[in-house]
Amino acid sequence: MKLLLVDGHYYAYRSFYAIRELSNSRGEPTNMLYGMAKALRRMIADLKPDFAAVVMDGGLPAHRTAEQSAYKANRSETPELLVRQLPFLEQLVPALGFGYLCVEGEEADDVLASYACAARARGIETVLATNDKDLMQLVCDADAANNRGGVRVYQPNKEGYELIDPPAVVAKWGVGPSQIGDILMLTGDAVDNIPGVPGVGPKTAAGWIREFGSVERLLENLPALKSERHRQMLEAARPQIASNRIMVLLRTELPLPRPIEELPLRPDPARQAELFAAYEFRTMLREALAESGGGAENRPALTERIAGPLTQGELL
């Protein structure tokens, strides 16, 4: 069994910026919706999951903002054209067969982590569609002897796509998945406005973690470091490192808003046809009508929606 979990925030932004100035004939922006539809349909074809959900951010957790008040304060406001499209995801995502999940006051990372750990405990394979470095901490192999499912990260590339496994994490980061958190404690995360130890980058941090095994062991053995500058730097940064531990630690035991069994992949081509007609996605509308096998209501009316002059959206 396979569970596909999609980082909705990441893919919404990725889709919005990948396709510019796309709208239907009524002037309504549709570029993010188009990109999301294409991405989710491709994931289904690539991965053939049994269960699937798109997880959206529900706000900043109180424990992180209490720890570091500037957490994610560097992020610019969501573009207005993207904001206008976000409510329609609640219609599009279920039509494509995915559950739509958003937990008030919780970030998607923690919800994704909680689902991945729950699935692993039940022997279900999990694939995370994301580009978030924090979630690399979850990557692991399956353990058939103990009925534990594996976790992979899905990322498209020029050849198709790749599923990032533990060796791929080591190749990129220089440490294993379970040590990614240690790296982030030292380097911080500029994307989330989490400060790191001044002058310490990923390569330096990875070298220390490989040598000592963890941040705790590193701090316990500062005299073993050859560089006096590094010893002083890390000593002075102890409070920041301790704070960063709270910031980067994924919460894996949140109550699941819906049980995994309630997230079976169930695409609804008839509903897709209705939405694609409204968005004026000609190719996807034709595909949905074909997949519905005549089940789409008002087929003549839907077909008529794509018979008029081409708009930007019609070309795709």
Q: Are residues 257 and 294 in the same domain?
A: no
What is the tens place of the pLDDT at every residue in 224-239? Answer: 998 999 999 999 999 9
What is the tens place of the pLDDT at every residue in 170-191? Answer: 999 999 999 999 999 999 999 9
Structural domain count of the chain: 3
Q: Are residues 191 and 140 in the same domain?
A: no
pLDDT at 307: 37
Q: How far is CA 152 from CA 47, 90, 137, 179, 211, in A?
A: 11, 26, 10, 16, 26
pLDDT at 302: 54
Find the domain containing 297 and state its range.
269-315
Cα three-residue angle 225-231-237, rounded to 5 degrees: 135
pLDDT at 277: 97
The one-letter code for the residue type at 36 is M
Q: Are residues 20 and 165 in the same domain?
A: yes
The one-letter code for the residue type at 90 is E
Query: With 60 as the cut, is the pLDDT of residue 316 above it?
Result: no
Q: Which two tokens stand for residue 287?
A: 């595909």
Q: Are residues 101 and 154 in the same domain?
A: yes
* CB 124, CB 71: distance < 8 Å: no
Query: With 50 as the cut, is the pLDDT of residue 315 above it?
Result: no
In this prediction the pTM is 0.91
CATH number for 210? 1.10.150.20
pLDDT at 303: 47
The mean per-residue pLDDT over the stretch 11-29 comes to 94
* CB 13, CB 30: distance < 8 Å: no
Q: Are residues 162 and 110 in the same domain?
A: yes
* CB 208, CB 234: distance < 8 Å: no
Q: How far is CA 310 from CA 35, 232, 281, 313, in A?
A: 19, 65, 10, 8
- Residue 9 pLDDT grade (very low, low, confident, very high; cuts 50, 70, 90): very high
The mean per-residue pLDDT over the stretch 265-271 comes to 97
Cα three-residue angle 259-39-309, rounded to 5 degrees: 125
Task: List, edge to edge, every strand of the sheet that includes 2-7.
Answer: 99-102, 51-56, 2-7, 125-129, 151-157, 160-164
Q: Kindly tell me the sign of the dihedral angle through the C-alpha atoms of 99, 105, 106, 108.
A: positive
Q: Are residues 42 and 133 in the same domain?
A: yes
What is the tens place of the pLDDT at every residue in 204-225? Answer: 999 999 999 999 999 999 999 9
Q: Are residues 278 and 306 in the same domain?
A: yes
Q: Are residues 127 and 60 in the same domain?
A: yes
Report the percentage of the chain scoring pLDDT > 90: 88
What is the tens place of the pLDDT at every residue in 86-102? Answer: 999 999 999 999 999 99
- Structural domain ending residue among the three candidates 239, 262, 285: 262
CATH number for 131? 3.40.50.1010
Q: Are residues 25 and 137 in the same domain?
A: yes
* CB 185, CB 248: distance < 8 Å: yes
The DSSP H or E segment spanning 111 is: helix 108-121
Query: With 70 as the cut, is the pLDDT of residue 311 above it?
Result: no
* CB 91, CB 41: distance < 8 Å: no
Q: Are residues 60 and 207 in the same domain?
A: no
Q: How deeply is 299 buried, as exposed, middle or buried, from its count of CB atoms within 10 A (0-12, 13-18, 19+)? A: middle
pLDDT at 298: 54
Q: What is the distance between the alpha carbons of residues 71 and 60, in angstroms, rounded to a whole number?
A: 9
- Residue 297 pLDDT grade (very low, low, confident, very high; cuts 50, 70, 90): low
Q: Are residues 191 and 304 in the same domain?
A: no
pLDDT at 294: 59
Q: Are residues 298 and 227 in the same domain?
A: no
- Residue 247 pLDDT grade (very low, low, confident, very high; cuts 50, 70, 90): very high
